[in-house]
């Protein structure tokens, strides 16, 4: 489970959030797609407020943001070495032997550390539910 969550965070959730943010921001800031709503007193609602309203009221966006924030809290609780392995091996795809060489560990130790990260992420993800 941890391995799938690690991959989902980097490969799906973060890119999806950027994509959705860009689309919504272009719609709102461009002003072409949304009618100008008036607030009480006759003033036009500022685009930033419309943007915030759209994001805060979309269940899918809220769930995506919640997953990202949950994973970021888990990542922040990892050690520096674990974060290094996560960034270099899991996300950048650096071969295990190069990462193991940098942190001066054997193959067995590297794969144990990798497995420990996956287990840690999975366990802490379940705890946060």
Assign 3-class secondary structure to the chain.
CHHHHHHHHHHHHHHHHHHHHHHHHHHHHHCCCCCCCECCCCCECCHHHHHHHHHHCCHHHHHHHHHHHHHHHHHHCCCHHHHHHHHHHHHCCCCHHHHHHHCCCCHHHHHHHHHHHHHHHHHHHHHCC
Task: Report d(CA 15, CA 39) in Å as an integer.
Answer: 34
Closest by Cα among 40, 64, 39 to 50? 39
Segment 55-82 shows an average pLDDT of 93
Task: Report d(CA 67, CA 16) in Å as an integer.
Answer: 12
The predicted pLDDT at position 92 comes to 95
| % of the chain at pLDDT higher than 70 | 85
Segment 2-28 shows an average pLDDT of 91
Segment 51-61 shows an average pLDDT of 81
Q: Within 10 A of 50 (CB to CB), how many other CB atoms are there?
A: 19
The maximal CA–CA distance of the chain, rounded, in angstroms, is 70
The per-residue pLDDT of the chain, averaged, comes to 87
Segment 22-41 shows an average pLDDT of 66
Segment 3-26 shows an average pLDDT of 92
């Amino acid at each position: 489970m941890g391995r799938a969550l690690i991959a989902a965070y980097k490969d799906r959730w973060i890119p999806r959030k950027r994509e959705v943010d860009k689309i919504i921001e272009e719609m709102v800031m461009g002003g072409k797609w949304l009618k100008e709503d008036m607030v009480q007193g006759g003033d036009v609602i500022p685009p930033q407020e419309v943007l915030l309203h759209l994001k805060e009221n979309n269940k899918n966006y809220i769930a995506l943001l919640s997953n990202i924030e949950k994973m970021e809290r888990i990542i922040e609780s990892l050690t520096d070495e674990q974060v290094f392995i996560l960034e270099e091996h899991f996300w950048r795809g650096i071969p295990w032997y190069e990462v193991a060489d940098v942190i001066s560990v054997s193959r067995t130790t590297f794969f144990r550390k990798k497995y420990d990260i996956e287990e840690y992420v999975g366990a802490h993800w379940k705890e946060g539910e």
